[in-house]
Structure 1
Amino acid sequence: MPAHIGRPVINLGAHRVDTDALIEHIRTTYSDPDEHPRMGVWERIIRNAGVTQRYWTRPLAEATATTGVARRAETAFGDALDLAETAARRALDDAGLDPGDIDGIITSHTTSWTVPNLDVHLVERLGLRPTVARMPLTTLACAGGAHALVRALYFAQARPGARILVVVAETLSTIYHQAETTPQSMIYRALFGDSAGAVIVTGVTDENADGLGPGLLADDPFELVLPGSRDRYWGTIDDDGLHFESTRAAARAAADSLPYLTDWIGNRAVEWVVAHPGGPRIIDDVVAGVGLDPEKHGRHSHASLAENGNLGGAAVLDVLRRMHDDPPVSGDPGVLAAFGPGFNLAAIYGCWA
């Protein structure tokens, strides 16, 4: 039986940082004569990211201050947990569920280190049953949302009728470090926003099938670690905090993964796609790769990227939320796909209910 994925809730950081303000901050920070000639290159990189604004949990000046790894990690996790709790409560309310109705919780969170992780904290904060099944995902970053939905699908197939709460939170502003001036660091500070996303996934049964409402009926998951790709995109940590690193080959990684994705899809029809908004090229490569028009079928992903930035693991949930507001034809099949460090891919095939 398939699993029903409802309408996600997205909770953004409280502080809007538009691209003009970000560029002006960088221009002011790097006013040294030896650095200033690079400003034109940096500005082009930032504007080409496709992001008009992003939302951070802290004001621009505070988020970019040098504080050290301990303070950064503590702040990042605290903010992510607050975002996650609010998103999860709204998802429960929207679905008309009480915390005790949840059979499993699957979380994804990468941007700070803590033990216990998001799952344990949310069990207590939300008042979930102490015996609720838990599955914390902690190092998946941008692929976290799709991987969490894959795990929720497996859970629902094993326990028909189960209700699973998926929660993804990332405070990606924590990777902004003033001392970094590489092109990659400029791309990441332009792309990333802070958020949490939450959604209810329900195992479909004959008894509940008519009452679940619109959404994605997911029935086939797919996962890939792209061979020989660990040099594409990865994370590091030092005294300043968490960093994301990449090579030029990272720009081709999504496209290099597409033959595996299309082989998995096979002869099945694809009428829509929820493509991870990791950047304009990733969106267009994925949409075109599954045989659709990037301008038409990538519009929700491009809008999410422009208005919120790349939200990491929560990004596909934001795109799926937008699809709920502008849905495909009932019964149309399609694919949800996201990419992350490693280089890895997670995807789900299903139809729109």
Structure 2
Amino acid sequence: MPRPVGLISLATAEPRHELLQSDVAAAARGVFLDRFPQFERMAPVFETVGIRRRQAAMPMEWYLEPRGWPERTAAYTEAAVDLFTRAAAAALDEAGLTGADIDVIVTVSSTGIATPSLEARAMGALGFRPDAARVPVFGLGCAGGATGLALAARLAAAQPGCRVLFVTVELCTLSFRMDEPSKADIVATALFGDGAAACVLQAGADGFAQVEASAEHTWPDTLDIMGWRVDPQGLGVIFARAIPPFARQHLRPAMDAMLAGQGLGVEDVDRFVCHPGGVKVIEALEGSLDLGQGALDHERAVLADHGNMSAPTVLYVLDRARRAGLPRRSVATALGPGFTASTVTLAAA
């Protein structure tokens, strides 16, 4: 990174419909029990994933009716624009800026399709300038919070004085499916929530942290671990291989290599800020990185209160970590489809 980039604000936003995990479990039983013979064996996942509640784009009853692409897309567009606008407005307010002060807008979202993209639809409400550069990114999945933050930092560093707004919005619950239930669908129903997060970055600016570096590692022959399937009903989740054992076995060598490129080792990191895919993923991360059981406390708290929101989730964790007081050096990291590990190294201001 040629110039130090200040992370000068961070805000989150979630939908107004709250789902208690106990209610979701009861609804899932009513939907899947007669359609999916293995449901009883899988039902404990609703209790073991570490989630108490989460927020959703639509009320519970909406998900209990068959939905196709048009209805899912309409719900995505309306809810995603609202979340984008609220998260971005809060991040701008914390930074003491307005939409007119932003030069580049980076938007990350992989749970719906909107063309024009979300930042274009929110331009009027947020007062973005007509000459603001728009960078919409699709397909990063759960890694999108870290990868998008890294991309925004690179863009800020490339042009002195440039102010970059990064917003990630994910509406994972819109992928809930009843037409052809699978193990992956049951797990997704137990895990997914919706949310958004936004940051403002500027090279040379003061902030609560400086972006020191970023790195990614994509493992070969891992396309089947995580992703979307696309069919006439909409997006459907792919979990073809178990993520926790893969992370436990393979993350540490990749992390060592990514940090080595920055002249660092795991021992130089005071706090890993991780995307909490689920309790078993958290435990795998703690084991792989030798953090000690229970070290990822903010991750567990975010998971319990919001579920797995895909890309925004790691930024929710970072927000909790900074409010508790960031240590000298932290690394935000997330795993996503590819299969890819993405990291951003931060130095506390």
Q: TM-score, normalization: structure 1? A: 0.91
Aligned-residue RMSD, C-alpha: 1.8
1:299 to 297, 300, 303: 297
**CA gap 1:278/1:31 in 2 versus in 1, 3 angstroms:** closer
Once the two structures are superposed, the pairs formed by residues 188-267 of structure 1 within 5 Å of their partners are 188-204=188-204, 208=205, 212-213=206-207, 215-255=208-248, 256-266=250-260, 267=264
Percent identity, aligned pairs only? 28
Residue 222 of structure 1, CA deviation: 0.3
Residue 162 of structure 1, CA deviation: 2.1
Tell me how far apart the structure 2 counterparts of residues 294 and 202 of structure 1 sit (CA, whole Å).
Answer: 36
Residue 30 of structure 1, CA deviation: 3.8
Tell me how far apart the structure 2 counterparts of residues 247 and 136 of structure 1 sit (CA, whole Å).
Answer: 28
Once the two structures are superposed, the pairs formed by residues 91-110 of structure 1 within 5 Å of their partners are 91-110=91-110
| Unaligned stretches of 5+ residues in structure 2 | none
The yes-or-no answer on 1:49 pairing with 2:49 is: yes
Name segments (4+ residues, structure 1) moved above 6 Å: none
The yes-or-no answer on 1:336 pairing with 2:338 is: no
Residue 326 of structure 1, CA deviation: 0.6
Residue 252 of structure 1, CA deviation: 3.3
Once the two structures are superposed, the pairs formed by residues 1-353 of structure 1 within 5 Å of their partners are 1-30=3-32, 32=34, 35=36, 38-204=38-204, 208=205, 212-213=206-207, 215-255=208-248, 256-266=250-260, 267-268=264-265, 269-296=268-295, 298-329=296-327, 332-353=328-349
Tell me how far apart the structure 2 counterparts of residues 288 and 202 of structure 1 sit (CA, whole Å).
Answer: 35
Task: Report SS of the residue matched to 2:201.
Answer: strand
> Deviations for 1:35-66, whole angstroms, at most 9, x for unmatched residues?
5x644323212222211111102111113321
Tell me how far apart the structure 2 counterparts of residues 202 and 65 of structure 1 sit (CA, whole Å).
Answer: 45
Determine if contact 1:262/1:290 at 8 Å carries over to the other structure: no
| Unaligned stretches of 5+ residues in structure 1 | none
User: Matched residue pairs, number?
Assistant: 341
**CA gap 1:294/1:6 in 2 versus in 1, 3 angstroms:** farther
Residue 231 of structure 1, CA deviation: 1.5
Amino acid at match of 2:275: H
Tell me how far apart the structure 1 counterparts of residues 245 and 180 of structure 2 sit (CA, whole Å).
Answer: 23
Residue 258 of structure 1, CA deviation: 3.1
Task: Report SS of the residue matched to 2:245.
Answer: helix
Q: TM-score, normalization: structure 2? A: 0.92
Tell me how far apart the structure 2 counterparts of residues 51 and 182 of structure 1 sit (CA, whole Å).
Answer: 21
Residue 294 of structure 1, CA deviation: 4.0
Tell me how far apart the structure 2 counterparts of residues 30 and 158 of structure 1 sit (CA, whole Å).
Answer: 51
Amino acid at match of 2:29: R
Amino acid at match of 1:237: V
> Deviations for 1:152-204, whole angstroms, at most 9, x for unmatched residues?
11112212332211101111111101234322111111111111111111212
Tell me how far apart the structure 2 counterparts of residues 303 and 192 of structure 1 sit (CA, whole Å).
Answer: 15
Tell me how far apart the structure 2 counterparts of residues 63 and 276 of structure 1 sit (CA, whole Å).
Answer: 26
Determine if contact 1:283/1:294 at 8 Å carries over to the other structure: no
Determine if contact 2:105/2:166 at 8 Å carries over to the other structure: yes
Determine if contact 1:226/1:257 at 8 Å carries over to the other structure: no
